[in-house]
Structure 1
Amino acid sequence: MDGHDTGLFPRERAEVAPGAVHVPDWLTPERQSALLAAARDWARPPAGLRTVRTPGGGTMTARQVCLGLHWYPYGYARTAVDGDGAPVKPFPAWLDRLGRAAVTDALGPWAVAAEPYDIALINFYDGDARMGMHRDSDERSTAPVVSLSLGDTCVFRFGNPVTRTRPYTDVELRSGDLFVFGGASRLAFHGVPRVHPGTAPPALGLAGRLNITMRVGGLPLTAL
């Protein structure tokens, strides 16, 4: 069964690892369209969609835009320090509400952090883009990470907090899916080894995959 399956087998929520939950079809088609429209606005300059360059001189194949604070390898800044230098776009209050609702639905109200979600990384994958195994470890907060998928189906590889290698689980994420990871899995390695081009819902009008991840930074702004 792959991203071309039209729903013969219903997909059910699953706990992939302790504190890591996949909720299929969490976003309605209408909410997906609204999020895509917002992402297109966020991707425009200034501080818009950029290619991320690693300290070793390589480049990430997925392009990225940030909200709230600007992520660069490996830290956060108030401006797009590895882009056009413009101030990062603000993190909207409605996106924090969406993130909190996601955590409540996936893990329960007990897992919702006291602090608001204040950082979003939006990654755009074309058909050839990938994401290597990595940990979201540049934040000080241990609040769960919220991941929302739009567009093409991907293989999401979710591992463990110790090593980039096995054990890991490959999960198929489709447009509208929610994935939340916190608790014992907050620092688990994860990545995207494959995207299935042409699998986005036709009505969405997106060629490629958008992934919106929300985090609570817990960072002292005086240090940025």
Structure 2
Amino acid sequence: MTDRTEALIPRARAQVADCAVHLPDWLRLEQQRELLAACHDWARPPAGMRTVSLPSGGMMSVRMVCLGWHWHPYRYSRTVDEGAAVRPFPDWLGEVGRRAVAEAYQDPVAGAAYRPDVALVNYYDSTAKMGLHQDRDEHSREPVVSLSLGDDCVFRFGNCRTRTRPWTDVLLRSGDLFVFGGPSRMAYHGVPKILPGTGDPAVGLAGGRLNVTLRVSGLTD
């Protein structure tokens, strides 16, 4: 089957685990372009896109910009590394998150109650990876909403007990939505591989992948 033929076949929503839902092609092309434009704006200094240093002395292979709260391994603050104030979390992005939860869980009440206040925007070049980890630095266990732009990636979604198997590998493409909460909120997950050159040029990202994840921090000033 050719890539062009595959593109004509709608991909079905999938429940990867309990309360972990993949909605392919959730963002229309124009919405992807609008989100990309916002990412470009957020990436500018001050408090823009940066390489993240780990306590071990190593560096993450992804680059990151944060909204609402800045993530330092492994804590949040209102300022970035050089002391500049973190970029604000926009109201419109919260509305995207509420719609995402409502549609992923087919539950308008859960969607309306979702109040994300932090976003991590990760840029993966063709060689970047993200090891299996838990999103455990938030004080809330409300769902994580993940949006993909650009190149395809292999998204590895594991279990809540260990970094080892069992896990499920999901192909995430530009415009895809992945939501995980409830019993799957603390599942280990990561990105072992980016597939270079697979992104739709019409989106406007020249190369690599952007991942926008929304969370409820549960933090107060």
Work out whether the TM-score is over 0.5: yes
Q: SS state of the match for residue 52, structure 1?
A: strand
Q: SS state of the match for residue 33, structure 1?
A: helix
Shift of 1:10: 2.7
The sequence identity of aligned pairs, in percent, is 63
CA contact (8 A) 1:4 1:199 kept: no
Q: SS state of the match for residue 131, structure 2?
A: strand
2:185 partner letter: R
**Alignment match, 1:151:** 150
2:177 partner letter: L
Q: Distance in 2 between matches of 1:191 and 1:3?
A: 26
1:171 partner letter: V
Shift of 1:111: 3.0
Shift of 1:162: 0.5
| Bigger mean CA deviation after superposition, 212-221 or 24-33 | 212-221
Shift of 1:114: 3.5
Q: SS state of the match for residue 142, structure 2?
A: coil
| Structure 1 or 2: more strand by fraction | 2
**Alignment match, 1:85:** 83
Alignment deviations for residues 48-98 of structure 1 (CA, whole Å, 9 cap, x no partner): 0010111001111010000000001000000003xx321000000000000
Alignment deviations for residues 25-67 of structure 1 (CA, whole Å, 9 cap, x no partner): 0000000000000000000000000101110011110100000
Alignment deviations for residues 96-150 of structure 1 (CA, whole Å, 9 cap, x no partner): 0000000000012243373621000000000000000001011111111000000
1:102 partner letter: A
**Alignment match, 1:217:** 217
Residue 186 of structure 1 pairs with residue 171 of structure 2: no
2:93 partner letter: L
**Alignment match, 1:66:** 66
Q: SS state of the match for residue 42, structure 2?
A: helix
Q: SS state of the match for residue 113, structure 2?
A: coil
Q: Distance in 2 between matches of 1:104 and 1:177?
A: 15
**Alignment match, 1:44:** 44
Shift of 1:202: 1.1
Q: SS state of the match for residue 100, structure 1?
A: helix
Which residues in structure 2 correspond to 1:4-153 (within 5 Å)? 6-81=6-81, 84-107=82-105, 108-112=107-111, 114=113, 116-153=115-152
Q: Distance in 2 between matches of 1:3 and 1:70?
A: 39
Q: Distance in 2 between matches of 1:142 and 1:167?
A: 22
Q: Distance in 2 between matches of 1:3 and 1:174?
A: 13
Q: SS state of the match for residue 26, structure 2?
A: coil
Equivalences, count: 219
Q: SS state of the match for residue 156, structure 2?
A: strand
2:103 partner letter: D
Q: TM-score, normalised by structure 1?
A: 0.94
1:94 partner letter: W
Q: Which runs of 5+ in 2 are unaligned?
A: none
Alignment root-mean-square deviation, CA: 1.7
